[in-house]
Amino acid sequence: MIKQKKQGQLIVISGPSGAGKDTIVENVLKKNKNIWLSISATSRPIRSGEKEGVNYYYLSKEEFEEKINDNYFLEYAMYADNYYGTPKDKIIEHLDKGIDVILVIEIEGAKKIKELVPEALFIFIMPPSEKELLKRLSGRKTEDKEKIIKRFNIAYQEMNEVTKYNYVVVNDELKEAISKVESIIKAEKCRVDRIEEMLVANKEELIHEFLMEVEFDNSLISEKIKED
């Protein structure tokens, strides 16, 4: 009856540092093989446990600026004194194959994506409270005290932007938050603006076929009655 767009969905996920974006996305990816996570480039130092090309592509500030000049990024922004950017190259390729693409980016980058791809899906991950956010930021043990405070200050500006997103998910109970993000992505696939074509079958032909079948069945019944 309908043909839906084959094109994958571009999904943008933002939220304050420590809200749980990476944890949620990691779990969503494990269960959904048709979603691809875009790996960003950054000029921030690599954290222990992170891997080049898995978490980020790690560049010096100079290398990053060179790539900006080469028009390598779909969007980029400065966050806590470091550059972060989304490489352009593989995104269109995945979307064209019907694979959904997730970008986990801060709000300035998300605004640029909104200008470029207004039909993208924008999800904001919110911590259950400011106190819990600070606890998660420090509990992660990836930043020193000064950097934690910097990120916590940025978080307050970011949380003011939540209404610019399509959905907000409060990450209190992790399983529940993962399931909500998955449900939002599924629901998005059912939007009527993803209908590419209405395929209307020939009504007269269907009625004719139906009547022929009824007639055939009736003749079988009357023959059975005669035999009895």
Q: Please report, as a single letter, which amino acid is at residue 221.
A: I
Binding residues for ligand 5GP restricted to 8-37, rule: CB under 6 A? 17, 21
Instruction: Count the neighbouring beta carbons within 10 Å of the beta carbon of residue 76.
Output: 23
Say if residues 121 and 9 touch (Cβ distance below 8 Å): yes
Cα–Cα separations (whole angstroms), residue 224 to 16, 212, 215, 218, 219: 75, 19, 14, 10, 9
Minimum CB separation from ligand 5GP for residue 31, in Å?
21
Q: Judged by CB under 6 A, does residue 123 bind ligand 5GP?
A: no
Q: Return the number of the residue (105 or 178) whose C-beta is nearest ligand 5GP.
A: 105
Say how far apart CA 113 and CA 135 lie, in whole Å.
30
Q: Which of residues 17, 40, 43, 86 is near ligand ADP by CB under 6 A?
A: 17
Q: Return the number of the residue (99 or 170) whose C-beta is nearest ligand ADP.
A: 170
Q: Return the number of the residue (8 or 15) whose C-beta is nearest ligand 5GP.
A: 15
Q: Judged by CB under 6 A, does residue 15 bind ligand ADP?
A: yes
How many CA atoms lie less than 13 Å away from 171 in the CB half-sphere? 25
Say how far apart CA 100 and CA 49 lie, in whole Å.
27
Q: Return the number of the residue (32 or 142) whose C-beta is nearest ligand ADP.
A: 142
Nearest to 191, CA basis, from 169, 170, 166: 166
Say if residues 145 and 151 touch (Cβ distance below 8 Å): no
Q: Judged by CB under 6 A, does residue 22 bind ligand ADP?
A: yes
String of DSSP letters for 91-103: HHHHHHTT-EEEE
Say how far apart CA 89 and CA 103 lie, in whole Å.
13
In the list ligand ADP, ligand 5GP, none, the entry touching 122 (Cβ below 5 to 8 angstroms by class) is: none
Binding mask 129-148 for ligand ADP (x = CB under 6 A): -------x--xx--------
Q: Which of residues 11, 12, 20, 83 is near ligand ADP by CB under 6 A?
A: 20
Residue nearest ligand 5GP, CB atom distance: 109
Minimum CB separation from ligand ADP for residue 104, in Å?
7
Q: Return the number of the residue (26 or 209) whose C-beta is nearest ligand ADP.
A: 26
Minimum CB separation from ligand 5GP for residue 194, in Å?
26
